[in-house]
Homo-oligomer: A and B are copies of this chain.
């Protein structure tokens, strides 16, 4: 889940929504796993520089500190991730978002057969990034690969190169070639989202409709009335059942949003093999 727009109290989107992400951590309806209780993370931007991280291996639904932070931190841009571990240990260093300088990265998906690919993929990292891998998830390696391939200059191309490299490596190794890649990337000024799968339907990803549409559909909703042009939510699973509020991002597509601006770019996401 990502918020990008006017400054809001994190609480409003995290706990004061129907079927919000913390609720989804306990019983998701669209996700691959109904329970996402293997840790979570919150990354938020404040005035300047590096975003803050709060990550925990506890389930989001029972973490008292998360409620405290949400009730006291206001931010114009934040990302929240709830985790269902697939094999790798439940530990803080395996929780998203991952961070590098101003950059945050979250991933809903997986690299099939990752344990068999891990060595090749870590060898493909910029050698200086090798020691920056502290945990054991596929996501952290994907993020460091994307940084190796220029994420800070052109995030989408870097991710296309990253996914292309992973797919090529898997094929070369005779492994299952399947990358499930719903990504969120942010530097505080722009938010990029990718919805991709090597084959089959990618994991779901939605964005909110523009403010005019929302107001036209729900003219009397008090909370929605506070939306301003340029406010955006991106979610794996819609928060509520208000029809018309959510636009599904098409499969194998990337989108980008400037802060408080319009949708800047929507284009096919096409992995680039090395």
Q: Which residues from chain B contact A54 at a C-beta distance below 8 Å?
A: 65, 68-69
Q: Which residues from chain B contact A50 at a C-beta distance below 8 Å?
A: 71
Q: Which residues from chain B contact A131 at a C-beta distance below 8 Å?
A: 115-116, 118-119
Q: Which residues from chain B contact A136 at a C-beta distance below 8 Å?
A: 93, 133-135
Given A54-B68, A119-B130: A62 and B85 interface contact (C-beta under 8 Å): yes
Q: State the number of copies, please.
A: 4
Is A190's beta carbon under 8 Å from chain B? no
With A and B bound together, what is the CA distance between A54 and B67 in angstroms? 10
Interface band, chain A: 35 or more
State the Cβ distance, A202 to closest chain B Cβ, in Å. Answer: 24
Chain A contact residues: over half helix, strand or loop, or mixed? Answer: mixed
With A and B bound together, what is the CA distance between A62 and B57 in angstroms? 10
Whether B89 pairs with A134 at a CB distance below 8 angstroms is yes
Most buried by B among A62, A116, A118: A62
Interface residues as binary, A141-157 with B (CB distance below 8 Å gives 1, 0 otherwise):
00000000000000000
Whether B46 pairs with A35 at a CB distance below 8 angstroms is no
Given A118-B130, A119-B130: A89 and B85 interface contact (C-beta under 8 Å): no
With A and B bound together, what is the CA distance between A236 and B214 in angstroms? 46
State the Cβ distance, A56 to closest chain B Cβ, in Å. Answer: 7
Given A62-B90, A65-B65: A27 and B38 interface contact (C-beta under 8 Å): no
State the Cβ distance, A48 to closest chain B Cβ, in Å. Answer: 11
Is A55's beta carbon under 8 Å from chain B? yes
Is A34's beta carbon under 8 Å from chain B? yes
Near B by CB (< 8 A), chain A positions 94-134 give 115-116, 118-119, 122-123, 127, 130-131, 133-134
- CB contact between A71 and one of B52, B59, B72 (< 8 Å): that residue: B52
With A and B bound together, what is the CA distance between A183 and B68 in angstroms? 24
Given A52-B72, A131-B119: A38 and B65 interface contact (C-beta under 8 Å): no
Is A92's beta carbon under 8 Å from chain B? yes
Is A37's beta carbon under 8 Å from chain B? yes
